[in-house]
Structure 1
Amino acid sequence: MIEQRRILTTAIPGPKSQELQQRKLASVSTGVSTGLPIYVEAGAGGILRDVDGNQLIDFGSGIAVTTVGNGNQRVIDAVSKQIADFTHTCFMVTPYEEYVQVCEELDKRTPGDHEKRSALFNSGAEAVENAVKVARHFTGKDGIVAFDHAYHGRTNLTLAMTAKNMPYKHKFGPFASELYRVPMAYPYRWPGGPEHCEAEAFNYITDQIHAQIGEENTAAVIIEPIQGEGGFIVPPPGFLPALAQWCRDKGILFIADEVQSGFCRSGDWFAVDHEQVVPDIVVTAKGIAGGMPLSGITGRADIMDTIHPGGLGGTYGGNPVACAAALASIETMEEDDLCGRAKAIEAILYERLGRIAEKYEQVGEVRGRGAMIAMELVTDRESKEPAAALTGAINKACHERGLVTLTCGTLGNVFRFLPPLTIGDDLLHEGMDILEEAFSVAAG
């Protein structure tokens, strides 16, 4: 077990990591970049240890994947047992109980008490793509509506729904058709001000769908209840329930992309639970399986069961080892009350980030829920001009001091904090101390 404390034995990155980085540059496509080129050899809880013996505090969780922490004993035991039993058969050839068990858990835990069905895949993008397939098949309509600042994946179809050009979409088109984008209810940057965002955004968005596509041509509206890569944008209270109800009234499916926000990350099992929104389809991945590649879609039984046999699937989808990890992760979330832990992390992060905001004019807004908190940086609060260069400088200073941090945002000016839910309070506070020091160095 790795001791849960930060240790710096070399500069970051150290000589062994630098050597591995040179090997990476000589063998891996330049299209695969790394934000912090330290090469990890072990991880546990809230600590990552690199090949030089440095131990860094993890505020990224592999982008919200290791929710239950690296080195989780339940996951280790479940994966070890499953590997010893068998590693693969392909569920479509000879099935196994673990796949069924994960689908049962998804059917039980996703919002709503209606009858549901699930299907398993490998990545968030693959699950999103299959959710679109299901929506189009069920409704007989083509139009799919996504939002500004959205991120849904890197496949051709999901890139068409993703709102950020660099580095995701640049020169990779043409993209799939019949995919439309409308403004996001983004309170901090809504032209009429945060107090008008909910009503104005809802009216504008639904008017745009009516005018540009037509409800009769719209299969689904897909939204991240808390946007991830786009900047951890939280829509104003009331917006999601109103949008979901409008979709029901118009015969349009409401798809919640919970890839980053699901599985206790927001302080609820799913981010839509915060306002008791019940989607027609829920997309899951990332935190579902303790670091193993797994994703799923869960929807109303009448929707999911219209798909013809063989219409959904994939060779590796619902791999038994990944399913075993998911079952152990879900057990950990339940038994260790990780929803409650996410709320405790939220309280610490809001208090510490609030202190930074009081000190520095460049903090435009602190937002988010649970262990999914963001800090948007601006040159000044009056203009709200994005401070992307400052964000990058603070991020670099955090890395040099042994804190793994992530940035995001369409405008490149948002810090996102995604610690494992198993991280200790002492590491959270130490990480915030490092952030404050990095802020003072970069901001002057």
Structure 2
Amino acid sequence: MSSTHVLVLNCGSSSLKFAIIDPNTAQEHLSGLAERLGESNPQIKYKHQGQKHTVALNAGEAHQIAIDKLVELVKSLGLDKELVAVGHRVVHGGEHFTQSVLIDDTVHQAIVKTADLAPLHNPANLLGIDAATKAFSHLPQVAVFDTAFHQSMSPTAYLYALPYELYKSHGIRRYGFHGTSHYFVSTQAIKALGLEQKSSRIITAHLGNGCSVCAIKDGKSVDTSMGLTPLEGLIMGTRSGDIDPGLFSYLVNQLGYSVEQVDTLLNKQSGLQGISELSNDCRTIEEAAADGHPQATLALDMFCYRLAKQIASFAVPLGGVDALVFTGGIGENSDVIRAKVVEQLSFLGMEIDAQANLDARFGKEGEITRSGNTTKALVIPTNEEWVIAHDAAQLAQEQ
């Protein structure tokens, strides 16, 4: 792969995260965020050569204008000449995509169809694809899917115990998310520990406002905690994670909730936010718990218990565990949560090294268990943007 740059786009409903990355070195030459798009005070914040800048946009301006401004910025900084592709994060690829692909009309239509499975994410991803295709018509556009890494799961792991017809006709099954992150940190862990990929057993915990755990055997995902949507699984910032499905009918039939109100409750008002009644931010919860706030303490304990229980269950499909990897905003920065979780997993042969755990914060990689432990725990900062850039550059070169 020659020395080239890739523009990476991660488009949300009112935001656009971007970066220009060298896929060989993972060096970021430009990074930033266009936020509050379509609202009253949109703006673009970016970092270049260590300097931070802000560009104001007019009220109501949305994705196409933001990308047009980004094009102007890229050209003014002289970075456009090195670009070989645009890589797009796409949340849901359904069963259509098991790997990253060049975007053509067929791929575009498949992403549109899959939007029913991710109505909050895929339509926003398509906005970014359409705007970037217009602005960078001379460059290959590549889609990198959050779900693709988990397409190696077996039917035993991905099917729900529902009428099989729902799977055959509507694709209702478990898909999993955060695939690029789980893939990246697991490969880094294998390298760091000197393991052979074909005989490795890794559990990765991507912990942020959204959280998921993945069981990775011989380099392939064999199970993960998220399902049809990113709501299943762990307690998260504002998402409930696993609940009794009967709660839905109880809320609707007994308490008079609408379907939309239940969806809002489970996705935006639950999790750490709902239990603590303080915040969805783990830092705020930890500070309040340290000050003796009972609901913050409860939220923290519940989060760690459910996480440890999920990790322990993944020893079953792996047949044992070589390493546990923490990543994501919480996983990389919360020594408190890491210590609580590892303590509950001592039966797997791991014991926290208190000083190493404290040292492995703020973007630092490191092993956090005592030497001689049969199962290692590590902190590895994720780099999803680099995975997208790498795949995009490779596909651009092959076409």
Normalised to the residue count of structure 1, the TM-score between the two structures is: 0.26
Greater RCO between the two (CA within 8 Å, min separation 6)?
A: 1
